[in-house]
Amino acid sequence: MNKTALASQESTGKGRRQSVAYARGNLLTAKSKAPIIRAVDVYKTYQKGRLKVPVLRGVDFQVEQGEFSAIIGQSGSGKSTLLHLLGTLDVPDQGEVFFGEERIDNLKAIKRDRIRNQEVGMIFQFYHLLPELTTLENVLTPKMISTGAFRYLLNRRQYIERARMLLELVGLGHRLNHKPRELSGGEMQRTAIARALISDPTLLLADEPTGNLDSQTGKDIMDLLQRLNRDEGVTIVMVTHDNEIASQADSVVRLVEGRVQKSRNQAA
């Protein structure tokens, strides 16, 4: 079933699919390409009451196209904050974030909203599905956000078809009209992954995607992410505190107290 789904996705794929195929075909050479997202010397401090808590203290980080990268660190090491900066959910106090060649940390809110909607897919530890909406509607949410009501209604069938296909891809073809509270943790995370993929993003950011799941389900999710990276060529940045999970990534960046401690390339 997955194979037919993938095949259908291939057939509906547009220009970007070719670049994915290119990336997949040139896995080794792809690593030397320009990074898809890059943080340069970013600082971030949170205000907690009267205390200033420095979270990131000059982090450099970059991911290349087609790479599966993991950020690992203890609680409070700033790994989630870094991910938020990469996903334009937050802006750094100091430093720069580039998406491709474009600097994105100083863009207007409305433009960052667009990047978040179109170019980046996000997965969270607590799934963060909207409880009022069904699985299918949750997956369609980013599409609803990006298109106006009229255009959405016009292209509804097409969007729904794509959402259905993505849900089948993550193995939830039979749960289209269930509300999140009727789903298990793994199923909710799969829905979140399908939602992250609906806008056809260049980059997938995952914040402890297995953190709230039992080990078997966690492993299933990791398999799914790896398959997406390998078969679909989706660039993934994953935050985790689990060394074993992190070891499944191509590259691992360790954050300690807001600084990059060590970078190693597993694929190399």
Partner 1 sequence: MYKLMLAWRYLRTRYIALASIVSVTLGVATLVVVNSVMSGFTHEMHKRLHGILSDMELMSPGLGEIYEPRAHIEEIRRALDEDLEALSAVVRVPALLHQTVNGRMITQQIILMGIDDQTYSHVSDFTPYLLNEQNRKQPDFQLKKGGYDGRLGEVGWPYRTQKAEFEREQRRLLEEAYGSKVTQAQPEVKAEGQKESEFAFVPIPVSPPVLSTDDESGNPQQAAGDSVMPQGADPFKAVRESEHTQIFDPATQQHPGIILGMALANRKFRDPETGDVRDVYINVPGDDIQITLPTGGSPPRPTFALCTVVDFYESKMHEYDSTLAFMPLSELQKIRQMFGPDGEGTVSSIQIKLKPGADLEAAKEKLVAMFPPDIYPYQIQTWKDVQRPLLAAVQLEITILNILLFLIIAVAGFGILATFFMIVVEKTKDIGILKALGAPSRGVMSIFLSYGLSLGFVGAGAGIVLGLLFVSNINEIAGLVERLTGREVFDPTIYYFSEIPTIIDPFTVVWIAVGAMAIAVLASVLPARHAAKLHPVEALRYE
Residues lying near partner 1 in the complex (CB under 8 A): 84, 87, 89-90, 109-110, 113-118, 122, 124, 128-133, 137, 141-142, 144-149, 152-153, 195
Cβ–Cβ under 8 Å, residues 125 and 209: yes
Cα 247 from Cα 264, distance rounded (Å) = 11
* Residue 161 identity (one-letter amino acid): E
| Residue placing its CB nearer to partner 1 in the complex, 110 or 268 | 110
| Residue placing its CB nearer to partner 1 in the complex, 5 or 85 | 85
Minimum distance of partner 1 from residue 4's CB (angstroms): 28
Burial degree of 113 (CB within 10 A; 0-12, 13-18, 19+): middle
| Cβ atoms within 10 Å, residue 231 | 16
Question: Quick one: tokens of 133?
Answer: 């909406």
Minimum distance of partner 1 from residue 142's CB (angstroms): 5
| Cβ atoms within 10 Å, residue 108 | 8
Minimum distance of partner 1 from residue 113's CB (angstroms): 5
Cβ partners under 8 Å of residue 139, min gap 6: 163, 166, 167, 191, 194, 195, 198
Question: Can you count the helices (H) and strands (E) in the chain?
Answer: 11, 10
Cα 157 from Cα 260, distance rounded (Å) = 46
Q: What angle do CA 7, 191, 215 make, to 5 degrees?
A: 100
Minimum distance of partner 1 from residue 143's CB (angstroms): 8
Minimum distance of partner 1 from residue 155's CB (angstroms): 11
Minimum distance of partner 1 from residue 195's CB (angstroms): 8
Place of tokens 């050479």: 29
Minimum distance of partner 1 from residue 154's CB (angstroms): 11
Phi, psi of 63 (to 5 degrees): -130, 140
| Residue placing its CB nearer to partner 1 in the complex, 153 or 267 | 153
| Residue placing its CB nearer to partner 1 in the complex, 96 or 113 | 113
| Residue placing its CB nearer to partner 1 in the complex, 81 or 229 | 81
| Residue placing its CB nearer to partner 1 in the complex, 23 or 198 | 198
| Residue placing its CB nearer to partner 1 in the complex, 15 or 131 | 131
